[in-house]
């Protein structure tokens, strides 16, 4: 049986590539145990770590406050302009919402206006949600914000 598992941790600054992305298996195993040194690690969890023979360590970055989202005829969408913390599992939703709104704006406006309305709407939403996600305890507020957003889409006019 194969198991795919993930572990996340936050660091104040990037780990050097030689100590993370290019580190050997034993170094990664030690790093994992160090991260969990104050945990009461159940045996099945240490078994999984001990028997894992492939690790794919990756650094994940947050992008904060991009000053502009477009320049000339180029506009950024998805992770290129606003990342969502992987803990909250919303990055794909943000990207799909971006794609849908930019398509709609480009259908309805010339590109400069389209980029303007797209950024105005999406910047507000992603900044508000990201701020909420930093305080995950207010789950009701998050659910409300997630559900109150709609993009009206008139399918017949989309060819
Ligand atoms: C560990 C992890 C777990 C996550 N879990 C979740 C989750 O549970 N739920 C969720 O909603 N989101 C999750 N996300 C976030 C989600 O995966 C991203 O927010 C989403 O994929 C962003 O979509 P995107 O289209 O903007 O970028 P991407 O999905 O990164 O797509 C960009 C594409 O462009 C390609 N590309 C890059 N450079 C070039 C180039 N020069 N030429 C051509 N192509 C290029 C890349 O290969 C890639 O296919 C997670 C992210 C991570 C890292």
Nearest CA, atom 21, ligand 1: 92
Give the Cβ contact number of residue 44 at 10 Å: 7
Which residue among 92, 101, 126 is best mutated to probe the pocket of ligand 1, counting the most ligand atoms within 8 A of its Cβ? 92
**Residue 89: predicted pLDDT:** 77
* Prediction pTM value: 0.73
pLDDT band at 143 (very low <50, low <70, confident <90, very high): low
pLDDT band at 104 (very low <50, low <70, confident <90, very high): very high
pLDDT tens across 22-60, in order?
Answer: 999 999 999 999 988 888 888 888 999 999 999 999 998
For residue 107, give every residue at least 6 positions away whose Cβ sits within 8 Å of its Cβ, in sequence order, or none.
Answer: 157, 158
For residue 28, give every residue at least 6 positions away whose Cβ sits within 8 Å of its Cβ, in sequence order, or none.
Answer: 20, 55, 57
Q: Can you list the domains of the chain with their CATH numbers? A: 1-59 (no CATH), 70-157 (3.50.50.60)
Is residue 66 within 8 A of residue 29, CB to CB? The reply is no
**Chain length of the chain:** 159
**Residue 84: predicted pLDDT:** 78
Is residue 107 within 8 A of residue 157, CB to CB? The reply is yes
DSSP H helical ranges for 36-81: 43-51
Ligand 1 atom, smallest distance to 93 CA: 11
Question: How far is Cα 87 from Cα 89, in angstroms, rounded to an integer?
Answer: 6
Ligand 1 atom, smallest distance to 79 CA: 26
pLDDT tens across 51-95, in order?
Answer: 999 999 999 887 777 899 999 999 999 999 988 777 677 889 999
pLDDT band at 136 (very low <50, low <70, confident <90, very high): low
């Amino acid at each position: 049986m194969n198991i795919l598992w993930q572990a996340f941790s936050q660091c104040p600054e990037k780990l050097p590539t030689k100590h993370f992305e290019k580190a050997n298996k034993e170094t990664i195993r030690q790093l994992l145990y160090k991260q969990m040194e104050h945990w009461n690690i159940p045996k099945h969890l240490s078994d999984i770590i001990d028997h894992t023979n492939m690790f794919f360590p990756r650094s994940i970055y947050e992008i904060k406050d991009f000053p502009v989202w477009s320049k000339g005829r180029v506009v950024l969408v998805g992770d290129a302009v606003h990342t969502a913390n992987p803990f909250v599992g919303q990055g794909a939703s943000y990207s799909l919402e971006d794609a849908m709104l930019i398509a709609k704006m480009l259908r309805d406006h010339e590109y400069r206006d389209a980029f303007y309305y797209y950024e105005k709407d999406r910047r507000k939403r992603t900044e508000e949600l990201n701020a909420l996600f930093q305080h995950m305890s207010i789950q009701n507020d998050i659910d409300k914000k997630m559900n109150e957003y709609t993009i009206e889409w008139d399918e017949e006019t989309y060819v």
